[in-house]
Amino acid sequence: MSTPTARVLQPLGSFIKVDSAGNPFLEGVQCATCGEVLLESRRGCPKCAAIGTLEPVRLSETGKLFSYTIVHRSFPGIETPFISAIVELDGGGFLRGNLIGVEPNPAALRFDMPVRVQFDHTQVTGKPDLELLRYVFVPLVGRRPMNVGGNHA
């Protein structure tokens, strides 16, 4: 009788973290000199050019649609069309990802529409012991997320 292997959960980006309770969150850096918030650490701040002033900070999981592209052609096996979005996070920072729960149609989208980050797990084909932790954006209606279904945590 074989012992089942424990699944390994691997964040799909270096800025995706998991706290001690197992809850995923986004971590960026903030400049102690000017307050600029960035997704990933660098040697210095691109806004004020200060060196060694970037400190880890937990990023907001809500924001506004800053820009988007409706993708109609992609790699084989990727379902199209889909919305590739850039979101300006509340409190600072910009994050790129897919926006789901909205028709990929310009009439259904508006700049500055409120969204939130939603995390989910996906298995890797051919590697049953590996799960990837990823995120998508979902629209907020009022202050509550829309129910978009699917396998999202």
> How sure is the predictor about 148, in pLDDT bands with cuts at 50, 70 and 90?
very low
Higher pLDDT, 21 or 142: 21
Give 125-134 pLDDT, tens digit per residue. Answer: 888 888 899 9
What is the CA angle 132-25-12, rounded to 5? 25
The token pair at 86 is 């850039």
| Cβ contact 99:146 at 8 Å | no
End-to-end CA distance of the chain: 33
Give 51-97 pLDDT, tens digit per residue. Answer: 999 999 999 999 999 999 999 998 888 899 999 999 999 999 999 99
What is the CA angle 129-135-136, rounded to 5? 135
Number of H helices, E strands in the chain: 0, 11
Tell me the domain boundaries of the chain: 8-144
What pTM, to 2 d.p., does this model score? Answer: 0.81
Give 88-125 pLDDT, tens digit per residue. Answer: 999 999 999 999 999 999 999 999 999 999 999 888 78
